[in-house]
A and B are shown apart, each in its own frame.
Chain A
C-alpha cells in the first residue's frame, strides 16, 4: 500500500504532535529488543504521519481529518469497574474460554486460564514480554510485510493483548474468546495479540470488542496470526463499539502450505470502524476465506480494506463483504488481490455487496487485481442496491409487517457471510447478534 512521502514542510496536526509527546513520555515495556522495534515503528509512522485521503489505502477514511484529538493512554480500571464487565460479550450457547481485557488491561479474575488443553499455551502479552519470550519478540511485527501507519502506531504503542500458541497437531475444540471492553474513560487503547498455530493444529478464535455507548474512546487493535503447514484457524471478530468510538484494527496472517484460514468480521456498531487485513498465502494449496458484514446506522462509517497476496501455487482465496446501510451510514470496501509470479493455478474470488436501506446511505467499493502469473483464475465483483420491493410485498401479503419483512430479507442477505462458519454454536450466536441488531432498527 502506497503512502505519499510526507512533505517536509507540512505542519503536524495537533493529534500527531500529541502522539509524539505521548510516545516520548511512555514507559516502554518489553526490554531493549522491543524498545528498538517500537522506536523504528514510531519513526516509520512519523515519516508519513496520520494517513489521509491522498493515501490510496485510506482514501475513504481520512484518519488525519477524523482524528482531531488523541485521548491519553488508559489508566488501569478500578477493580469494581472491571468486575462489572463480567457479562460483557457473552455469546449465549458458546462455551468459550474467555480472556477479558477492560480498558486495555488484562483482568485475570474475569479470565479463564485454568486447565488449558494439552498443547495450548495462553499468556498476556505483558507477561510474555516480561518473561523475555524470544519466540514472541522474534515474531511481533514480522508476521507480514505491512507498511501502514495505523499498524506502525500499534507497534509503537502496543500495550496489552495475548500470545497464544497451539502445539503441533493439537485440535482445540473450545473456542478461545478475547473480550475487549472499553469506555469507562476517554482513552486510547493499543491492543496487540499474536497467535501461532503450529503444524497440523486447529483452533477457533473469537475477538469481541464492546464499549460504553456514550464515552469517546479510540481503539487501535492488531492481531498477527501464523498458520504453519496444514494448520487451521477459524477467527471471528465482532465489533460492537460505542456510538462515539473510533476503532482501527489490523489483521495480519501468514499461511504456510495447506493451511486454512476462515476469518469473519462482524461490524455492529461504532462511529468509525476501520478493519484492515493483510493475508499472505505463502505455501502451496493454502486456503483463505475472508468475509465481513456491516450492519450500520446513523452516521456510522465502516471501512474494510483487504490485501490478499498469493505467493505459492494452487492457493485459494475467497473474499465476501456485505453491508446493510441505514440512515446516512457509510461502508467502504477496498480489496486487492496480488498474485505473485510463483503463484500459478491461483484461484481467487472477491465480492462486495451493499444493501442501501435509505437514500442517505452510501457504499464505496474498490476491488483491484494485480497478477504476475499467467495461469490463474481471479474474479471480483460488486453490487449496490436496495431491498427488492417485490419480495417485501410478497412477505407482507402473507401478513408479515414491513419491519419484520425487511429484517428477514436483510438477515438472509447477511446469512451468506455467517452460514459457512463451521463452529455451530458460534454460528448461531452470530446469527442471533445479527437478528437482534436488525430488529433494533428504528
Chain B
C-alpha cells in the first residue's frame, strides 16, 4: 500500500540557505506522527516546503502525497489533493468574511476534485456543528477571517477549517503555541475527532505537553534539517526529561 506521505532524502533551501538536509519520513494512513526538535531545526520549514510556500525550494529528493509528487503541484492543488497545514501563526484577512472564505475554500477543493459543491445552507449547518465541538461562538464567524481573534481563537479557527475541509494529511505546526490549557484541550479533541484509518496527522511541536492530549503513534526527533531519531510515544517523555541538548550538539 502506498504511504500517505513519503519523504525521501529531501533537501530544501530558502534564499540559497539549505535548511532541510536529507529528510526521510513515511506516514501511513491512520497514523499520528509527532515531530519534535529544538528551535531552528527546520520544523516549520518542513511544513512550508510541503505546502508549497513561495521561496521554499526543493533542491533534491522527493515528497509524495499518496504517491503524487508535491513539487509538481501548486499550493491550492496540494490542498485539494488533501494536504492541510494548520499554521503556527494563522493570518488575519481583513475584509473577507469567514463564511465567504470557508465556502470559497471548500468548494474550490471540491471543484478541483470533480466533486459537487456544497450548498450554502449545508455549509452553514456543518460549520455550526464543528463550531459547537470547538466551543466557538458563531458570532466570531461573522467577522472577517481571524480579525481581532486571540491566539487561542485563531487556533480554534484553524482547527475548524481543518475539520470542515477533511484533509487526508493534517500538518499541525506548533498548534500548541499561544494556547492556554482549556483551548489546548478543545483543539486537541477536535484533532482527535479527525483521527481515522484513512487519515494521517503530523504534529510538529517543541513541547511534549500537546502529546498528552494527542497521543502519537510515532515520535521523531528532528535536528539540523533531518530526522535523527525515531521511537514510540515514550520518546517524547524522555525528551521532556533530558531536553534537546544531545541533539543540539549534534546539530552544531
Give the interface of A toward B (CB within 8 A). 389-391, 393-402, 404-405, 408-409, 411-413, 415-416
Contacts and interface: CB of A to CB of B under 8 A. Distances in A.
Contact of A393 (B75, B94, B106, B108): B75
Name which of A390, A391, A395, A408 has the most chain B CB atoms within 10 A of its CB.
A395
Interface stretch (B96-104, B118-126, B209-217, B230-238): B96-104
B26 interface: no
B93 interface: yes
A395 B101 CA distance: 8
B241 to A, nearest CB: 36
B108 A399 contact: yes
B51 interface: yes
Contacts of A404: 104, 108
Listed from nearest, the 8 A-B pairs whose CB atoms lie closest are A412-B95, A399-B79, A399-B109, A398-B105, A396-B75, A396-B76, A394-B91, A415-B95
Contacts of A415: 95
Interface of B: 51-54, 74-76, 78-80, 85, 87, 90-91, 93-96, 100-101, 104-106, 108-109, 112, 144, 161, 165
Contact of A401 (B76, B85, B101, B144): B76
Nearest to A405: B76
Contacts, number: 74
Given A396-B74, A399-B80, A412-B94, 13 more contacts: A394-B90, A397-B53, A397-B87, A398-B108, A398-B161, A399-B105, A401-B108, A404-B104, A409-B93, A409-B95, A412-B93, A412-B95, A412-B96
B85 to A, nearest CB: 6
A360 to B, nearest CB: 21
A395 B94 CA distance: 12
6 contacts: A389-B54, A396-B75, A397-B76, A397-B78, A402-B74, A412-B95
Contact of A397 (B85, B94, B96, B112): B85
B105 A390 contact: no
A396 B80 CA distance: 10
Contacts of B100: 408
Contacts of A405: 76
A399 B87 contact: no
Given A390-B91, A408-B101, A397 B54 contact: no
Q: Tell me which of A389, A390, A397, A399 has the highest count of chain B C-beta atoms within 10 A of its own C-beta.
A: A399
B171 to A, nearest CB: 10
Contacts of A402: 74, 76
Contacts of B108: 398-401, 404
Nearest to B144: A412
B49 to A, nearest CB: 13
A25 B104 CA distance: 59
Nearest to A390: B91
A409 B96 contact: yes
A234 to B, nearest CB: 22
Given A408-B100, A408-B101, A408-B104, A396 B79 contact: yes
A423 to B, nearest CB: 20
A398 B144 contact: no
Contacts of B161: 398
Given A404-B104, A404-B108, A408-B104, A399 B76 contact: yes
A397 B171 CA distance: 12
A389 B54 CA distance: 9
B160 to A, nearest CB: 12
Contacts of A409: 93, 95-96
A397 B95 CA distance: 19
A405 B54 CA distance: 15
Contacts of B96: 408-409, 411-412
